[in-house]
Amino acid sequence: MLTKRTIIGIGVGSVITAIGLYALILSIGIQTINVDETVDVAKSVTYQFTAPKSSHQNFKVTGERFHVKLQTPADGIQKDEDFKNEITFDWYVLQEGINRIEIKNTGSTELRITGQFSKNTDPLLFTYHIMVITAGIVIIGFSAAFSVRKPKGF
């Protein structure tokens, strides 16, 4: 017969395992990052991500004055310029690697940045999901052990 603690433990462990499995399934494949943010006066923002070959990247910056530094892998785009009003960058990655975008607000009004980036999944994230799944299974195992024999002190 299952005790109250065992049922609660199995329920909690099952929920944790399900969350880990759901996150693991969602993180498989190419991820899309949608950007829509503002940058205050004299502040900057940096985006850095590993993009797969032939993936589509784009962003648009709107504001009074700003500096954009864009670096793509291999012989891709290398920009380090000042711009006014509005600029749009749209490109396909020629070689898999790290894309780095630095945008600094040099004007007297806020900047608005919108865009969409495609990136590879972080391999470390895969490990985190496996650890969450394992933690859920361990909780289920300990909870099931409580119904077999109660350890001293519990």
| Residue 20 to residue 32: CA distance in whole angstroms | 20
pLDDT tens-digit series, residues 4-62? 888 899 999 999 999 999 999 988 888 889 999 999 988 999 999 988 888 899 999 99
d(CA 27, CA 21): 10
Does 134 lie in the same domain as 91? no
Say yes or no to pLDDT of 154 above 70. Answer: no
User: What residues make up the domain containing 98?
Assistant: 30-120
CATH code, domain carrying 50? 2.60.120.380
Say yes or no: 93 and 109 in one domain. Answer: yes
Q: pLDDT value at position 150?
A: 64
Two structure tokens written together for 153: 């002190």
Number of domains in the chain: 2
* Position 126 in a domain: yes
Q: Helices 123-148 and 4-26, interaxial angle, to 10°? A: 160
Is the distance from CB of 84 to CB of 7 less than 8 angstroms? no
Residue 4 and residue 8: Cα distance in Å, rounded? 6
Q: Is 89 found in the same domain as 19? A: no
Are residues 103 and 129 located together in one domain of the fold? no
